[in-house]
Amino acid sequence: MSATQISAPVKDHLHLLASLVLLVLFGWVLIREFTGFRVAGAVDGPLQALILLAAVSSLVAHARQLQWQYVLSAAAICGGLGSVAFLTSENAGIPLGPLVFGPAAGTQLTSKLPWTVPCLWIVVVFNSRGVARLMLRPWRKLKTYGYWLIGLTSTLAMLFDLGMDPFLARLNRYWIWQPTKFPLTWAGAPLINFPGWGLVTLFMLAFATPLLIKKQPGQKHHPDYHPLLVWTGALLLFALAEGQHGLWAAVAMNATVIVAVLIPAIRGGRW
C-alpha cells in the first residue's frame, strides 16, 4: 500500500480525530469571544490553531472519497493562487483591494505573506464547494451541473468573506485596509474585496475542479455534512464576535446567509 492509498477505516478515524480537535478549538475560541479575553492585533494562538485545524479537517474530509495526491494538489492550487491574490492586493490593490498585513496574522512565509492566508483560502474554497454540492445534490445528473457547482461555490465564497472580513480584519487585525477613492465600505473593507473573492475562487476552480472529481464513481457515498458544519459554524462564530462589538449589520447579514444556505443544503443532503 502506497502513502496515498490509505484504507477507508484509517481515513474515517483521521477524519473523526481532526473533527473532534476542531470542535474543541472552536468551543475554546467561542468562549474567549464571549469573555473578551483576547487582545486585538496581538498574536492569537487559539484562533490561528483553529484556522489550521479547519484547513486540515477539510482536507481529511475530502480524502475520504479522493486520493491524497489529488486533495493536496487541489489545496496547493487554492492556497497558492489565494496567496498570490493577497500579495498583489498588498502591492497593487487588486483584486481584493489595498491592504497591509498585521502581526496578528501570524509568522510570515515570505517577506509579506502570513502562513494563515493559504489556510484561509483552503477553508473557504473547499467548504464552500462542499456546501454547494449539498445544495445542488437534486440536480447532480444535469449536464450543466459542473458549471452550476463552480458558480455557486464562487458565490458562497464571496458570502463567506462578507462575514469573515469584519471578524479577521476589523476585530482581529489580520489585515488592515488602506483608503481608496470610493467612500463606500463594508465594515472598513472596500466593496471590491467581495466580488474579488468570488472571481479568485472561480479562477482557482478552473484548475482545481478536475482534481476534486472522483475518478472511479463505483460505490455511492452518503452526503457529507462536514463542509456545511464548518461553513455555518464559522459564520456563527463571526456573528457572535461581531455582535459583541456592536457590528449589527454584519450580524444580520451572517444570520441571513446561514438560514438561506442551511435550508437548501439540508434539503439537498436528504435528496
Helices (H), 43-180: 45-63, 68-92, 116-135, 145-165
In this prediction, residue 118 carries a pLDDT of: 96
**So what's the pLDDT on residue 41?**
46
Q: What are the grid coordinates assigned to 149, written together?
A: 457547482
CA distances in angstroms from 253 to 81, 164, 215, listed in the order given: 27, 11, 38
Q: Are 154 and 198 in contact (CB under 8 A)?
A: yes
- DSSP state letters, 179-238: P-S---EETTEETTHHHHHHHHHHHHHHHHHHHHS-S---SPPPP--HHHHHHHHHHHHH
> Which position has the grid cell 451541473?
145
Walk along the chain (271 residues) and give the pLDDT tens digit of each residue: 344 456 666 666 676 777 777 778 788 787 777 776 555 545 578 899 899 999 999 999 898 888 999 999 999 999 999 999 999 999 999 999 999 999 889 888 877 899 999 999 999 999 999 999 999 999 999 999 999 999 999 999 999 999 999 999 999 999 999 988 888 899 999 999 999 999 999 999 999 999 998 766 555 567 889 999 999 999 999 999 999 899 999 999 999 999 999 999 999 999 8
Q: How far is CA 57 from the centre of its chain?
A: 12
Q: Which residue has the cell 497558492?
A: 80
Amino acid identity for residue 41 in this structure? G
